[in-house]
Structure 1
Amino acid sequence: MEILDFAPIASGICWTVTYFALVYRGFKDKSYGMPIAALALNFAWETTFSVIYPPADGGFALTIINTIWMICDIGIVVTYFLYGFKYFKKQYGISKNIFYVGSVLAFVLAFLMMLTGGQFFGSFAQYFKSDIFEGAQFIALMQNAIMSVLFVAFFYSRKKMGSSIEGQSIYAAIAKMIGTSFTVGIYYIVTHPGAWYFMGVMIATSLIFDMWYCIILYKEIKAQGYSSYSRF
């Protein structure tokens, strides 16, 4: 067997041990051992590329490895939903409803990324047309999706510390939402007909979390006795 042929098998064994250990410790300690973003992306990747789009070049062995990983990930997902809420409540002070809605949303978005991302990255050279600015738009929309998620986490973290609206503006929140999804987001979709699906998931992610941020910030400003729109 060539050394290159052994590499995927070695990787499969090591990652299987990793997942088994996380599942074991999760149930043993009544906890979970993988961050939600990593867990959602991992589970979506392994499910998508073992069941929906099995590897064409790696053959049966890689499909088996990916399937084993997917099964192991199910165990980690179970520990996350069984034991994860107490950590989010302690860190962010959120309710169970927000925990479950946010968690399900993370998995849905991760699956959409995997389902659309494979085809997108498979046509990379053709898609970007050797144009640096095409790459710059891609980076900007990815960055905005990450920023939108972080703004929501930022709010809950600040609220837990008793300073939920300090430094934050409803005008900034609304302007960010409009300046991303409703402007350059729409422009990107219109100018990339038939090739916008993966980036559409990024744009949708930005929009969902920007709307979430606007709503919770608006409610918190009102709850503290301020006029939401006179407080710039």
Structure 2
Amino acid sequence: MLTLVSGLAWTLVYVEAIRVGLRDRTYAMPVAALALNLAWECTYAVGDLRTGLSPQGVVNLVWAVADLAIVYTYLRYGRTELPAFVTRPVFAAWSALVFATGFAVQWLFLAHFGTHDASRYAAFLQNLLMSGLFLGLYAARRGPRGQSLLIAVAKWLGTLAPTVLFGVMEGSGFILGLGLLCSVFDLAYIGLLSRGKGEAALRGRPDPSR
């Protein structure tokens, strides 16, 4: 049940991130977290294909395809978020470096910890990074443009479920600690977006996080 909750919640995150990115002509997931997510899903989907396709492997493939759609929104609209001196060649080179680094990090985890531990440790650490970067995205954009309360809530629930599964039921203190830290940041982000919705309603303006 917890695995199902996590899978459904993260699927909602990806679908909503694609929708919001296309609607607001921006990208709805911080690029460093996006690079790590894409690398994680591709790495473990390919690994699963080599040993025999499992339900989780199918999910990883679906998530990887969804991440590619989010990558498209980043490549399509991301340069407009940067200063004018960031030319197209510089943006392309920087983006290539970020996504290549995402794969390098996943492979280093895999080489050091092995598949079982690497998949979990990397997932929770990049999840914590994403939680912090969402707050940074809100601050950088000075509001909820390109963001969504649904993304925030689904991301929190999608992380909370495996935190209970691996951290509590399987007794991993490391994962439990990372998962709790994710919740702290996720709830802060939910609070920011909820406050933004309330302020928009009071002003009688459309809420950009919807």
Structure 2 counterpart of 1:81:
75
Query: Unmatched 5+ residue regions in structure 2?
Result: 116-210
Q: Which of 91, 94, 106 lines up with 2:98 in the alignment? A: 106
Structure with the greater alpha carbon radius of gyration: 1
Partners of 1:85 and 1:60 lie apart in 2 by 38
Q: TM-score, normalised by structure 1?
A: 0.46
Do the aligned partners of 2:27 and 2:70 also contact (CA within 8 Å) in 1?
Answer: yes
Deviation, structure 1 residue 55: 9.8
Partners of 1:112 and 1:42 lie apart in 2 by 12
Amino acid across the alignment from 1:84: G
Amino acid across the alignment from 1:113: V
Which has the bigger relative contact order, CA under 8 A and spacing at least 6?
2
Q: Which of 39, 51, 58 lines up with 2:46 in the alignment? A: 51
Give the length in aligned residue pairs: 116
Give the superposed CA RMSD.
2.5
Secondary structure, in 3 states, of the residue corresponding to 1:94? coil
- Shift in CA distance, 50/94, structure 1 to aligned 2, threshold 3 Å: same
Q: Can you list the C-alpha shifts for 1:121-176, whole angstroms capped at 9, x where unaligned?
A: 239xxxxxxxxxxxxxxxxxxxxxxxxxxxxxxxxxxxxxxxxxxxxxxxxxxxxx
Do the aligned partners of 1:41 and 1:110 also contact (CA within 8 Å) in 2?
Answer: yes
Partners of 2:30 and 2:64 lie apart in 1 by 16
Q: Which of 22, 29, 33 lines up with 1:27 in the alignment? A: 22
- Shift in CA distance, 53/88, structure 1 to aligned 2, threshold 3 Å: farther
Q: Which of 37, 62, 69 lines up with 1:42 in the alignment? A: 37
Runs of 4+ more than 6 Å apart: none
Structure 1 segment 1-232 matched on structure 2, within 5 A:
6-53=1-48, 60-89=54-83, 93-122=85-114
Do the aligned partners of 1:55 and 1:62 also contact (CA within 8 Å) in 2?
Answer: no
Amino acid across the alignment from 1:24: R
Q: Can you list the C-alpha shifts for 1:10-50, whole angstroms capped at 9, x where unaligned?
A: 11110000000000111111110111100100100011111
Amino acid across the alignment from 1:103: S
Q: TM-score, normalised by structure 2?
A: 0.50
Partners of 2:47 and 2:98 lie apart in 1 by 19
Partners of 2:90 and 2:71 lie apart in 1 by 17
- Identity over aligned pairs, percent: 32
Query: Unmatched 5+ residue regions in structure 1?
Result: 1-5, 124-232
